[in-house]
Amino acid sequence: MDWTIWLEWVLKGFILCLILLTGFAYLTWYERRALARIQIRVGPNRAGPQGLLQPIADAVKLIFKEELTPARVYKVVFILAPVLTVVPSLILAAVIPLGTSFNLFGREITLFIADVNVGVLYIMSIASIAVYGIVLAGWSSNNKYAMLGGIRSSAQMISYELTLGLSFVTAIIMGNSMNLIDIVNAQKDLWFVALQPVGALIFWIATLAEVNRAPFDMPDAEQELTAGFHAEYSGMKFALFFMAEYQKMIVVCMIMATLFFGGYLGPFVDKFPLLGPVYLFAKVIVLLFLMIWVRATWPRIRYDRLMSFGWKILLPLALAVAFITATGILLADLYKNQLYMWSIPVLSIASLLVAVAFIYRDLRRKSHGRI
């Protein structure tokens, strides 16, 4: 194999990691500023213009912080756990296409690292590995609260992984491929979110639970568990957990944009392929704002309700939606009539309404004294 190909791969991987790391730093700034705006505060605005140097100041502070390793931790696992949390969040991005390809010095450079045939499955498998970091951090800390946080998060992530997989299935069926590039190209005429709004919504909720964001931030619920799984971590090790959470947010938004919002597609992207990453970036910014918005306005949901919501409402709904999607596409294929495609959004919104009615009834019954 040509050594330039190796060089290209290494460089692209390096650049992607760099983008994610910078993205993480500025996402903290973005989140703090947006949260402040929602809560009628100003937010960090001292370091640099508009507080833009705040992430750098934070990083310097975290590097120089003292790192404590408690006496009776399981040391190897204790040190390994933050690494195990960060690595999946970085390598998840490898299969996400940032654009098509462009010419650089007469050489065709593709704007994705890996054109994997089973891209969606790759994401699923890395996401399922990502649980270990948190679980092991909780266990190795040798602290009851940390352990509870770890156990909670493993239960939560396993539960919502099924729903996540099913919402992947809807996108796979619509795109007729597991390759993320093919899925993006299938959205040339119409974004999948228009065809399957409920599928996108389910994916959104499931990913919020997978990355442990509010309102599903059970593993580190401060009031109940002090800081949950990372209670014993300090300094740079804590920063790694922090980093992993925010990188996962970015990557998850990239996946969501790719699966349901047309990925790198946008006007004129055929002529100027370098516009692709710009469009993806804009979509990711909007989706990230939605995440921050949810955090600012929703209270954390109780643990038992989180579980019953995931298993009794979200999973059946995701199953129904996958079934409806498959049926609609089959009918459209069978009768050669694209109008059948529109039965997908109609029927899935109807099933969403049924699910909402179930939640409403459940909540009303609970508020009348029966637990």
Partner 1 sequence: MTTDLIVFLTLSLVAIATALGMVFSRNAVYSALFLVLNFVTVAVFYLLLGAPFIAMSQVTVYGGAIMVLFLFVIMLLGADSISSTSDLPWQKPLAFTLALVLVVESVYLIVSRAQPNLGITAPDASLNTMDSLHQMALELFSKYLLPFEVTSILLLVAMVGAIVLTKQKKAGQGS
Positions in the binding site for partner 1 (CB under 8 A): 74, 77, 116-118, 121-122, 124-129, 131-132, 135-136, 138-139, 147, 150-151, 154-155, 157-158, 161, 178
Closest CB to partner 1 among residues 140, 187? 140
> Looking up tokens 């270990």, which residue turns up?
132
Q: Is the dihedral of CA 338, 341, 342, 347 positive or negative?
A: positive
Least distance to partner 1, CB of residue 154, Å: 5
Least distance to partner 1, CB of residue 295, Å: 26
Least distance to partner 1, CB of residue 146, Å: 11
Closest CB to partner 1 among residues 133, 199? 133
209 with 307: CB under 8 angstroms? no
174 with 192: CB under 8 angstroms? yes
Backbone angles phi, psi at 216, to 5 degrees: -110, 30
Closest CB to partner 1 among residues 135, 225? 135
Least distance to partner 1, CB of residue 129, Å: 6
Closest CB to partner 1 among residues 77, 331? 77
Omega cis (within 30) before 215: yes
Least distance to partner 1, CB of residue 139, Å: 6
Closest CB to partner 1 among residues 174, 287? 174
Side-chain-side CA neighbours of 223 within 13 Å: the count stands at 6
Let me know how long the chain is: 371
DSSP codes of every residue in 127-188? HHHTHHHHHHHHHHTT-HHHHHHHHHHHHHHHHHHHHHHHHHHHHHHHHTSS-HHHHHHTTS
248 with 222: CB under 8 angstroms? no
Least distance to partner 1, CB of residue 323, Å: 15
- Compute the distance between CA of residue 72 and CA of residue 337 in angstroms, rounded to an integer: 67
Closest CB to partner 1 among residues 7, 56? 7
Least distance to partner 1, CB of residue 75, Å: 12
Q: How many CB atoms lie within 10 A of CB 132?
A: 17
What amino acid occupies position 295? R
Closest CB to partner 1 among residues 172, 355? 172
Six-digit token pair at 350? 């109807």
